[in-house]
Structure 1
């Protein structure tokens, strides 16, 4: 029997038949739900609900003193947030329709099949979880404040999209559902995973592992461990990272590189909460929260059959996509300051000053390596700095903004030109040259050196073109 995904759910069962209470309770506990509250006298339910809350309520229709219909009406009025599953021997469509109209989430006819009951409860849990998350997210957006600011202290940003991601993380972090983090290399996926762990309040450790390059045997050994003698060289039992992450979080980076066999093993862990160490036929249970990350296009991998569709949908219970640095350029000045300070402390230097042109220059670079690349560039500039002033040349030596457009951006540029609608009379090359120079100067905030770098020409060549443009403009003015 597959275990339920979450051990924290609580279920109340209201039924006047003692045997039914025992049977349903046994089914739930065998399925991983240990918090089961039994109510044989329906009159006790309102009193119980004042004392404690339940994730789901199983309700019999035919009971003495108070009928299930009366209780269902009461619950829909007073406790609409609790999903109610009706259990009854009455096999009538009219009765089922009436119960659903009154707010029941499902209607099951006795004797209820085990799989149908568990499936119905799972569905109710999921609907309840989604409602709670939507309400929580709405509240966060309305309040526009972060409850766990300290959890995001390592993520330097002033970007509104990133702030929206933080609000989303505050809502989902306390659930036990898997999280899929996508984004380009260097966008900070592990920092996001650590923030989720901090907010979750889990007492266990945060365990991170990069699964890229691991074959199926290495993946199993790393995560699940092995028994002595499982293979040549296994001279003693070894505890896997899954065990070390118990009560905490297991972060798997580069999940897109997993083999088909390893994907299947991970899927089983997510579904059943159990795994087998290599060489052992005794299952071990786990309650570790699984967070995965990839810089690959996971949707494309699924469509091409390179990644299991069932695993993808399991992992995508919560999905966070991190924007690249080129889409959050307002973060460049604050990250520059932060990395200069950090680099200076690590090198035992006084933080150097820098001209404002440095920021303008960096803002015109696409950063294919994102934040990680910016950090490397700043560390290199600070390390090579021999004075208390960082010149623009220190950055020009490392990056060339004229050649900074990566393949993705180039395709976007081509797409832009293909979609352009030129007038019937095409502009001349000189006219286009004027427009390009004007745009480059705007982006460079008037700095001719940076504008020349953007255009991929020397400053002298730009000066010549500007001189021609100014001369042409003056001739036009004086000829009028």
Structure 2
């Protein structure tokens, strides 16, 4: 993200030559998008400016009247060690450069160096300072564990400790300009977390979402970067790309694991250089959006297999969160059920039904391969056919049975484990039946109706079986 003032801290340019200050400021603004600049022609004013706060980086000349650059370098290192200093001097002397580096300078450049070298050094310092601030912010947030902006997560229904830890992490990294990678299974809520990160970032622009799955290289480039008129056959007008649409906001690229290698190269350049070329243009544009990417695929495995570029993978995972699937946070089922019942009844203009006792326990026995999205679909289907005050459990039972009966054609059947492997003697039918009954009751939390459904028998039949077991034990 490059907000209207970038970086978030000020860069102080110190030189007694006004023409050089204007030239350096213009170069940093036009080529690197660095516009949060302060200039100073009198070296005696530098420490007062630093005391006022807000400055993170100083570009310092050495040869100045009153206070020399070396004297200032010592003072800054002593009184403001958190501020980085780059020397940009007219002196091309190795001894001077070494002395400045020993005094704590982050880098040393000669005024006659190429602009790209100086700008590159300034950008390296900016990124280093941003990462230091990200680290301090993350440490502070994760230690406290308290959410400062819980309203940003209002659309995510959860009381799971793992999810709340993700919220704290998102709060810590939301203002970072570095990419954010969100991984997790389909339907787990990756886009909701991307929206929360955008809200927390405080950027003025909008959230622009692009699903890159199925986009070939040319369509990907045109979608993201746009084109000029006449760039290719059919390009009759200028078209802005999604990167430009997301200016001062967030660009969310979903299903990033499906990108071709050629498209990965383009995305890497966008992230690495901070610039892109619209199709048909030889003039680069700078990215002014924070980039968030998401995938349900295992990028580490794809990188190992050579299907995903290593340099891009490590660039994307600067900040990373793994969204847990619903089966790992089943304590959220009652909350989600109530939320979706309210949502569905309002959408379908019906009175909110009362869920049957044991419904959450029954759903807890199901693995939910479609995660929260699948649960939402189940609830909407049940409410759409609902007639009485009490919601019927049959709709959910049939949905689970259908899902469990569907075997993906590419998936190999999972071998069933033998619960009696390793025993010298097989149990009797009565002993095996007793084991199944106890296991079903345990999974159903003692609910006989639910346990009967798990066993494929009615509640009266299960009750009869339990009486027989008690008589046998007696």
User: Structure 1-normalised TM-score?
Assistant: 0.82
Name whichever of 371-380 and 129-138 sits farther off.
129-138
Q: Indicate the residue corresponding to 2:12 in structure 1.
A: 12
Relative to structure 1, the CA distance from residue 467 to residue 261 in structure 2 (aligned partners, 3 Å threshold; closer, same or farther) is: same
Q: Helix, strand or coil: the match of 1:397?
A: helix
CA distance in 1, matches of 2:20, 2:424: 82
Q: How does 1:77-156 map to 2 (within 5 A)?
A: 77-85=78-86, 89=93, 91=95, 95=99, 98-99=102-103, 104=104, 106=106, 108=108, 118=119, 120-156=121-157
Q: Indicate the residue corresponding to 2:259 in structure 1.
A: 258
Report if the CA contact (8 A) 2:73-2:105 is conserved: no
Relative to structure 1, the CA distance from residue 432 to residue 24 in structure 2 (aligned partners, 3 Å threshold; closer, same or farther) is: farther
How far residue 260 of structure 1 moved from its aligned partner, in angstroms, is 1.5
Deviations 1:246-289 (A, max 9, x none): 12111111111111121112222222333233333343333022
Q: Helix, strand or coil: the match of 2:55?
A: coil
Q: How does 1:63-74 map to 2 (within 5 A)?
A: 71-74=72-75
Name whichever of 452-461 and 143-152 sits farther off.
452-461
Q: Helix, strand or coil: the match of 2:399?
A: coil
> Which residues of structure 1 form unaligned runs of 5+?
475-480
Q: Indicate the residue corresponding to 1:377 in structure 2.
A: 378
Report if the CA contact (8 A) 2:246-2:289 is conserved: yes
Q: How does 1:191-340 map to 2 (within 5 A)?
A: 191-340=192-341
CA distance in 1, matches of 2:365, 2:261: 41
Q: Helix, strand or coil: the match of 2:389?
A: coil
Relative to structure 1, the CA distance from residue 373 to residue 49 in structure 2 (aligned partners, 3 Å threshold; closer, same or farther) is: same
Relative to structure 1, the CA distance from residue 459 to residue 231 in structure 2 (aligned partners, 3 Å threshold; closer, same or farther) is: farther
Q: Helix, strand or coil: the match of 1:330?
A: helix
Report if the CA contact (8 A) 1:401-1:453 is conserved: no
Name whichever of 233-242 and 438-447 sits farther off.
233-242
How far residue 379 of structure 1 moved from its aligned partner, in angstroms, is 0.5
Deviations 1:423-460 (A, max 9, x none): x8657445676555433321211123433544577768
Relative to structure 1, the CA distance from residue 342 to residue 31 in structure 2 (aligned partners, 3 Å threshold; closer, same or farther) is: closer
CA distance in 1, matches of 2:182, 2:72: 43
CA distance in 2, matches of 1:262, 1:58: 37
> Which residues of structure 2 form unaligned runs of 5+?
none
Q: Indicate the residue corresponding to 1:448 in structure 2.
A: 448
How far residue 204 of structure 1 moved from its aligned partner, in angstroms, is 1.5
CA distance in 1, matches of 2:44, 2:59: 15
Relative to structure 1, the CA distance from residue 341 to residue 286 in structure 2 (aligned partners, 3 Å threshold; closer, same or farther) is: same
CA distance in 2, matches of 1:120, 1:244: 29
How far residue 10 of structure 1 moved from its aligned partner, in angstroms, is 3.3
Relative to structure 1, the CA distance from residue 229 to residue 177 in structure 2 (aligned partners, 3 Å threshold; closer, same or farther) is: same
Q: Indicate the residue corresponding to 1:478 in structure 2.
A: none
Relative to structure 1, the CA distance from residue 435 to residue 66 in structure 2 (aligned partners, 3 Å threshold; closer, same or farther) is: farther
Relative to structure 1, the CA distance from residue 426 to residue 448 in structure 2 (aligned partners, 3 Å threshold; closer, same or farther) is: farther
Q: Helix, strand or coil: the match of 1:91?
A: helix
CA distance in 2, matches of 1:14, 1:125: 17
CA distance in 1, matches of 2:171, 2:407: 34
Q: Indicate the residue corresponding to 1:176 in structure 2.
A: 177
User: Structure 2-normalised TM-score?
Assistant: 0.83
Q: Indicate the residue corresponding to 2:351 in structure 1.
A: 350
Q: Helix, strand or coil: the match of 1:56?
A: strand
How far residue 123 of structure 1 moved from its aligned partner, in angstroms, is 4.2
Report if the CA contact (8 A) 1:105-1:124 is conserved: no
Name whichever of 338-347 and 21-30 sits farther off.
21-30
CA distance in 2, matches of 1:20, 1:280: 31
Report if the CA contact (8 A) 1:365-1:404 is conserved: no
Name whichever of 284-293 and 430-439 sits farther off.
430-439
Report if the CA contact (8 A) 2:109-2:118 is conserved: no
Relative to structure 1, the CA distance from residue 455 to residue 60 in structure 2 (aligned partners, 3 Å threshold; closer, same or farther) is: farther
Report if the CA contact (8 A) 1:402-1:453 is conserved: no
* Number of residue equivalences: 461
Q: Indicate the residue corresponding to 1:477 in structure 2.
A: none
Report if the CA contact (8 A) 1:402-1:454 is conserved: no
CA distance in 2, matches of 1:472, 1:151: 58
CA distance in 1, matches of 2:28, 2:237: 38
How far residue 54 of structure 1 moved from its aligned partner, in angstroms, is 1.9
Report if the CA contact (8 A) 2:134-2:176 is conserved: no
Deviations 1:196-246 (A, max 9, x none): 111112221211121111111221222222333333333333222222211
Relative to structure 1, the CA distance from residue 112 to residue 180 in structure 2 (aligned partners, 3 Å threshold; closer, same or farther) is: farther
Relative to structure 1, the CA distance from residue 378 to residue 75 in structure 2 (aligned partners, 3 Å threshold; closer, same or farther) is: same
CA distance in 1, matches of 2:407, 2:160: 23
CA distance in 1, matches of 2:212, 2:227: 17
Name whichever of 167-176 and 377-386 sits farther off.
167-176
Relative to structure 1, the CA distance from residue 270 to residue 377 in structure 2 (aligned partners, 3 Å threshold; closer, same or farther) is: same
How far residue 120 of structure 1 moved from its aligned partner, in angstroms, is 4.8
Q: Indicate the residue corresponding to 2:190 in structure 1.
A: 189
